[in-house]
Amino acid sequence: MEFLLENILNLVGFLVGLAIGIMSLIGFRNTGSPTLFRLTIAFFSISVGFFVIWAGYMMEDFVIKSGNIEKWIQTLGIIVQTVGYFFIAFSHSIKSFFPKSRYFRAVGIFPLFLISSVQIEHIFRSVSFILLAYGAIETILSYFENKNKGAISVAVGLALLALGEFLGWYSFVFPESILYSISMITKIGGLIALFIPVSKIPLTKIKFDDNLE
């Protein structure tokens, strides 16, 4: 039952990410916004990551039948998702990736040394968590500065994605628990929260006045 639930959740994550990616692509083609271009790459990457893991579950279910998904497939899917998370955080909090303080740079790099002895999958989950948590904090700070209501949805989405990655990492400590399924649901909730501001982009091409230079 748990195997089937994880299979379904990865499929849902793929479809949700794909839908948001298509919306972002439409918005980019109609507005030419560099931010929407980065979001298009981000959501398509996340969608592909979910698809890779879902395909691994399907392969296990119908071909391999060993009882567990191939580890390299799940690791590949997580790496692809991490690329998407980088572009999401980069789009919403570009200044957070170039902190002026050397102290903050050290804080961002230090966790990588703490996890260097574990599996590569854990490393990328940790990187994802750092990116998303940092992006969520920066977005909240920008909301207090600009009072942009859309930032709230973005911050919630990034925070849920970060929590989902944390729970996904913690599920390896308790592999027989339902933590992995909860992490998947949390990540899908984060994608839906990010969909709210993306859904407000224009779906028709913007026309400019010919008299304007």
* Residue 121 reports pLDDT greater than 80: no
* Residue 51 reports pLDDT greater than 90: yes
* Residue 181 reports pLDDT greater than 50: yes
Higher pLDDT, 69 or 39: 39
Query: Using CA atoms in the order 169, 122, 111, 155, what is the torsion angle rounded to 10 degrees?
Result: -50
Residue 146's pLDDT is 76
Residue 113's pLDDT is 44
Q: How far apart are CA 193 and CA 202, in angstroms?
A: 18
* Residue 19 reports pLDDT greater than 70: yes
* E strand or H helix at 190: helix 179-198
Confidence bin at 67 (pLDDT 50/70/90): low
Which region among 8-17, 50-59, 109-118, 157-166 has the lowest average model confidence (pLDDT)? Answer: 109-118
Q: How far apart are CA 162 and CA 171, in angstroms?
A: 14
What average pLDDT does the structure give for the chain? 76
Query: In Å, what is the CA distance from 169 to each residue of 3, 127, 141, 161, 201?
Result: 17, 11, 27, 12, 34
Confidence bin at 80 (pLDDT 50/70/90): very high
Confidence bin at 171 (pLDDT 50/70/90): confident
Residue 194 near residue 157 (C-beta atoms within 8 A) = yes
Q: Is 16 helix (H, G, I), strand (E, B) or coil?
A: helix
Residue 52's pLDDT is 93
3-state SS, 99-130, equals CCCHHHHHHHHHHHHHCCCCCHHHHHHHHHHH
Residue 12's pLDDT is 92
Residue 14 near residue 51 (C-beta atoms within 8 A) = yes
The predicted-structure confidence for 187-209, as pLDDT tens digits, reads as follows 999 999 988 877 776 555 544 33
Q: Tokens for 199? A: 């859904």
Residue 106's pLDDT is 44
Confidence bin at 14 (pLDDT 50/70/90): very high
The structural domains of the chain, ordered by start, are: 2-198 (1.20.1070)
Query: In Å, what is the CA distance from 129 to each residue of 8, 96, 121, 126, 158?
Result: 23, 14, 12, 5, 9
Mean of the pLDDT values across residues 142-162? 83
